[in-house]
A and B are shown apart, each in its own frame.
Chain A
Amino acid sequence: MTTQRTVTDRDHRPATAGAARDQVRRLLGGAASPLPAAVVNDVLLVTSELVTNALRHGGGLTAFGAVLGDGTITLSVSDRTSTPPRTDTAGTVTTPGGFGWPLVRRLSRTVAVRTTPTGKTIEAVVSLSPLGQAPGA
């Protein structure tokens, strides 16, 4: 059985990455059982990177959603540019830059990018199990 709870709708989008994290924190606080701090932090990190990317490089955040599923949280972040995130500029120790998107990829079970002529939506599914596996999987 899947319990779905949506933290925010398209009319209540956060203005900053910090506000988005607060919303996700509240949603996770209502999870069936308390989550380990490390799991919560990973989800907040993905939230932050996605929202920051939309605000900084995506022409602004047009929608933000977070839904609790069965052992997962699905984050969806929409912005105003159709350009997918760049994957060819991962940061290195000598040339900082581009750490955000690799972090999102690394911490998410799946990441889907849907583009339209007016923008894009990135949907990341993050496991809420410390082992990266859904309970019972």
Chain B
Amino acid sequence: MSDEPEVTTTLVEDVRVVRVSGEFDPDEAATLTEALAVPSGGAALGLVVDLAHVAFADSSFLHALIDARLRHRDARVPLVLAAPGPLVVRLLELTDTARVFTITPTVEAAVEAVRGARADGRSLR
């Protein structure tokens, strides 16, 4: 059976961490896009997308990530992808999109990367 898709948002050291888990289909794309919205009014320093528990993702999932990346870049808010498993890495590589994201092996490293980017006043990719 398919794993139910789940999105959990927590605030870690003023960084919004969105954990996505399960299998994602286009029907869930709107939920995902909403969860990956740019934090408004300084509600968070930036966004970390925890990909460790993604059980399946296709091009609609990739579209949501790229859309979020573009909106964060325009708002000059850092976005970091954390802990992608082999299937997400493959999706990014097959589509030649890995290079546009900042990707870290762990959520902790991603939170640090967001905080570091804000402290430096520079914007991550």
In the complex the two chains form, what is the Cα distance from A91 to B69 in whole Å?
14
Residue A83 is within 8 A (CB to CB) of chain B in the complex: no
In the complex the two chains form, what is the Cα distance from A52 to B23 in whole Å?
14
Count CB-based A-B contacts (< 8 Å).
Answer: 65
Interface of A is mostly: helix
The interface size of chain B toward A, counting residues with CB under 8 Å, comes to 25
In the complex the two chains form, what is the Cα distance from A121 to B120 in whole Å?
54
The interface size of chain A toward B, counting residues with CB under 8 Å, comes to 26
In the complex the two chains form, what is the Cα distance from A67 to B66 in whole Å?
34
Q: Are B25 and A18 in contact (CB under 8 A)?
A: yes
Contacts of A16 in B (CB 8 A): 25, 27
Q: Are A96 and B63 in contact (CB under 8 A)?
A: yes
Residue B100 is within 8 A (CB to CB) of chain A in the complex: yes
Nearest chain B residue, comparing its CB with the CB of A16: B25
Q: Are B26 and A52 in contact (CB under 8 A)?
A: yes
Q: Are A38 and B86 in contact (CB under 8 A)?
A: yes
Q: Are A49 and B58 in contact (CB under 8 A)?
A: yes
Report which of B25, B86, B94 forms a contact with A103, defined as CB distance below 8 A: B94
Residue A3 is within 8 A (CB to CB) of chain B in the complex: no
In the complex the two chains form, what is the Cα distance from A99 to B92 in whole Å?
11
Contacts of B90 in A (CB 8 A): 38, 41-42
Report which of A56, A91, A94, A103 forms a contact with B26, defined as CB distance below 8 A: A56
Residue A60 is within 8 A (CB to CB) of chain B in the complex: no
Which of chain B's residues 87-111 have a Cβ closer than 8 Å to chain A?
87, 90-91, 94-97, 99-100
In the complex the two chains form, what is the Cα distance from A107 to B94 in whole Å?
9
Q: List 20 A-B contacts (CB under 8 A).
A: A16-B27, A17-B25, A18-B25, A21-B2, A22-B1, A41-B56, A41-B86, A41-B90, A44-B56, A48-B58, A49-B58, A52-B25, A52-B58, A91-B63, A91-B66, A91-B95, A97-B63, A99-B62, A100-B58, A107-B94
State the 10 A-B residue pairs at the shortest beta-carbon distance, nearest first.
A99-B59, A96-B66, A100-B59, A93-B100, A18-B2, A48-B58, A96-B63, A41-B87, A17-B25, A99-B95
